[in-house]
């Protein structure tokens, strides 16, 4: 049974944030509390932990009710334990993740007002008002900012993915139109001439032979046109993919460093490296939680080296389908793929340049 949903976006921070519960233990420790007080304190901790981990599974009004239940836990414990103000801070933190910032502001204001009323009833000194309410408002507003910023980044990423999807559809349609324009008329001519040659074979073998020569020339011409069209699709594939990778990473709020040596690659190598860049950058954006990413492409001594490094959370040594497919394509070219996951993820790919490639 999981305590929090998989890929909740917080990772280890989900558990690190529980460290603030230490404030709730200060009063019992300093007061050398007896068994009854410790049982009461332990009950509060248990109730909080249940509410805390439940909040990660809830949304909508249910999460709001659960967050205010955390605040009410603070109401119950604050008279006997000054550290219980941390419950109000936790409540404000969770309420900061509402879809609309204005809604979060209202809820955080409600938590601050609830705390103010209790501090007034308990006749707490001004410093308690300043510190406790100040922390509730400050941490709540900071979380609102991070929440809204994260939502905006996700919208930008979705928009970028939609643009890429539409671009692929448009490219497929363009290829279909181009191939129709290139081959449609030519294949019709080949069919007609082949039929004519078949009919003339017994009547006029010389003319039939001439028609077949025309068919051969027409077919060669069509083949050349198709190769030219496909060559146009492949041009600057890796360069364009690196530019797209930079745009995608920057859209996700990741700082990008890109160092590229101009290099001319055979179509197969270029296609494999382009797919590797796309797969690696997708993993960085979706899974790495990185702040920086470095892309490096170099060519020397007959080898092209592609390196993609991020400072994110790293990952499992086990390879997924995308990485496995990438490794198979690279090794099929006689290249190597090396992946390191300590202190971020580093992907190093080398492929031979081939006889037709070299520095541009």
Q: Are residues 146 and 41 both part of a single domain? A: yes
Query: 39-48, 296-305, 310-319: which range is least confident on average?
Result: 310-319
Same domain, 137 and 217: no
Q: How confident is the model at residue 245 (pLDDT cuts 50, 70, 90)?
A: confident
Which H/E stretch holds residue 308? strand 303-310
More confident residue, 358 or 19: 19
Number of domains in the chain: 3
Domain boundary among 177, 211, 234: 234
Look up residue 320 and give its DSSP letter.
Answer: -
Q: What is the mean pLDDT of residues 104-119?
A: 96
pLDDT at 234 over 70: no
Residue 98 lies inside a defined structural domain of this protein: yes
Which pLDDT score, from 0 to 100, does residue 132 have?
A: 94
**Final residue of a structural domain among 234, 256, 288:** 234
User: Do 143 and 207 fall within a single domain?
Assistant: no
CATH (domain of 285)? 3.30.565.10
Residue 168 pLDDT grade (very low, low, confident, very high; cuts 50, 70, 90): confident
- Which pLDDT value is given to residue 357? 43
Mean pLDDT of 93-111: 94
Cβ-Cβ contacts under 8 Å for 77 (sequence gap 6 or more)? 24, 44, 84, 87
How high is the pLDDT of residue 218? Answer: 81
Domain contains 65: yes
Residue 63 confidence (pLDDT): 94
Q: Which of 17-26, 105-114, 167-176, 209-218 bottoms out in mean pLDDT, i.e. has the lowest?
A: 167-176
pLDDT bucket at 26, cuts 50 / 70 / 90: very high
Please tell me whether residues 168 and 278 are part of one structural domain: no
- Mark which of 156, 174, 197 sits at the end of a domain: 156
Mark whether 213 and 147 lie in a shared domain.
Answer: no
Provide the CATH number for the domain around residue 228: 1.20.5.1930
Handedness of CA 15, 19, 25, 27 (dihedral sign): negative
Separation of alpha carbons 225 and 219, rounded Å: 10
| pLDDT: which is higher, 264 or 273 | 273
Q: Count Cβ atoms within 10 A of the Cβ of residue 335 and give its class: 0-12 exposed, 13-18 middle, 19 or more buried.
A: buried
Average pLDDT over the chain reads 86
User: Could you give phi then psi for residue 78, rounded to 5 degrees?
Assistant: -60, -35
Structural domain harbouring 301: 237-359
CA distance 290 to 115: 37
- Please determine, for residue 350, whether its predicted confidence score (pLDDT) is greater than 90: yes
Domain-located, residue 349: yes
What's the pLDDT score for residue 231?
57
pLDDT band, residue 248 (cuts 50/70/90): confident
User: 249 and 225 in one domain?
Assistant: no
Above 90 in pLDDT, residue 77? yes
Mean pLDDT over residues 138-155, rounded? 91
In the three-class reduction of DSSP (H, G, I as helix; E, B as strand; rest coil), residue 20 is classed as helix
pLDDT score, position 322: 78
How many CA atoms does the CB half-sphere of 26 hold within 13 Å?
Answer: 13
d(CA 288, CA 293): 10
Are residue 175 and residue 83 in the same domain, yes or no?
Answer: no
Q: What is the mean pLDDT of residues 41-54?
A: 95
Distance between CA atoms of residues 102 and 108, nearest Å = 10
User: Whole-model pTM?
Assistant: 0.56
């Amino acid at each position: 049974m999981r305590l929090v949903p998989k890929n909740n976006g917080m990772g280890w921070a989900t558990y690190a944030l529980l460290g603030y519960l230490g404030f709730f233990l200060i009063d019992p420790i300093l007061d050398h509390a007896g068994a009854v007080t410790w049982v009461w304190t332990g009950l509060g901790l248990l109730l909080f932990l249940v509410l805390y981990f439940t909040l990660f599974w809830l949304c909508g009004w249910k999460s709001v009710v659960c967050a205010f239940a955390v605040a009410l836990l603070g109401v119950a414990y604050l008279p006997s334990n000054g550290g219980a103000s941390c419950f109000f801070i936790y409540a404000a933190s969770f309420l900061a993740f509402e879809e609309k910032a204005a809604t979060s502001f209202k809820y955080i204001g409600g938590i601050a007002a609830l705390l103010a009323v209790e501090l007034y009833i308990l006749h707490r000194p001004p410093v308690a008002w300043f510190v406790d309410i100040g922390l509730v408002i400050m941490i709540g507003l900071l979380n609102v900012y991070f929440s809204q910023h994260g939502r905006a980044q996700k919208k930008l990423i979705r928009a970028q993915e939609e643009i890429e999807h539409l671009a692929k559809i448009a490219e497929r349609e363009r290829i279909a139109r181009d191939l129709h324009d290139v081959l449609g008329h030519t294949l019709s001519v080949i069919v007609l001439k082949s039929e004519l040659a078949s009919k003339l074979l017994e009547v006029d073998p010389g003319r039939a032979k001439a028609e077949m020569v025309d068919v051969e020339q027409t077919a060669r011409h069509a083949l050349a046109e198709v190769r030219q069209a496909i060559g146009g699709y492949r041009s600057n594939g890796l360069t364009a993919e690196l530019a797209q990778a930079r745009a995608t990473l920057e859209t996700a709020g990741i700082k990008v460093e890109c160092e590229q040596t101009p290099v001319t690659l055979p179509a197969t190598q270029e296609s494999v490296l382009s797919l590797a860049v796309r797969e690696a950058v997708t993993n960085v954006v979706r899974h790495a939680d990185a702040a920086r990413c470095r892309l490096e492409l170099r060519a020397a001594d007959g080898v092209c080296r592609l390196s993609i490094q991020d400072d994110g959370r790293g990952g499992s040594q086990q390879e997924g389908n995308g990485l496995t497919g990438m490794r198979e394509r690279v090794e099929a070219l006689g290249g190597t793929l090396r992946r390191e996951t300590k202190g971020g993820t580093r992907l190093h790919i080398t492929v031979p340049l081939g006889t037709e490639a070299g520095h541009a």
